[in-house]
């Protein structure tokens, strides 16, 4: 299990944006241009299934989605607006503050996926 810090304060769309920036290593100054470039690359290339599964796990844990998202609910070609409006928004409970979540990925798996920047203390 790896411990990852996820955004918890503010309006959910702000937390969603902060999570996406964290997952893809995008600075606030480079948002949204770098995000859309990243999504274009993911859409045109292969987005590894395990990386997508971690992304879904982080969305579920961050927002406490009910019912939980599954990796097949949307793919790399989904737009940010589609994911927010069609997948996340209808499943949101009321939440607040920053928290840490456990995901079923080891620190080594996150490193191998080039996502070790998400792990606390890395």
Average pLDDT (63-70) is: 86
The Cβ of residue 19 has, within 10 Å, a number of other Cβ atoms equal to 20
**pTM of the complete model:** 0.68
Using 50, 70 and 90 to split pLDDT, how confident is the model at 76? low
CA atoms of 60 and 56, how far apart (whole Å) = 6
The pLDDT assigned to 96 comes to 54
pLDDT above 60 for 122: no
Using 50, 70 and 90 to split pLDDT, how confident is the model at 29? very high
* Longest CA span, the chain: 36
């Amino acid at each position: 299990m790896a411990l990852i810090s996820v955004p918890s304060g503010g309006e959910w769309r702000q937390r969603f944006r902060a999570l996406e920036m964290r997952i893809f290593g995008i600075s606030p100054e480079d948002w949204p241009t770098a995000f859309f470039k990243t999504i274009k690359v993911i859409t045109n290339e292969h987005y590894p299934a395990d990386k997508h599964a971690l992304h879904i796990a982080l969305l579920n844990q961050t927002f406490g989605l009910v019912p939980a998202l599954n990796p097949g609910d949307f793919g790399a070609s989904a737009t940010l607006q589609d994911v927010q409006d069609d997948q996340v928004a209808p499943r949101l409970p009321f939440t607040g503050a920053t928290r840490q979540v456990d995901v079923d990925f080891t620190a080594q798996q996150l490193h191998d996926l080039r996502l070790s920047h998400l792990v606390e203390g890395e």
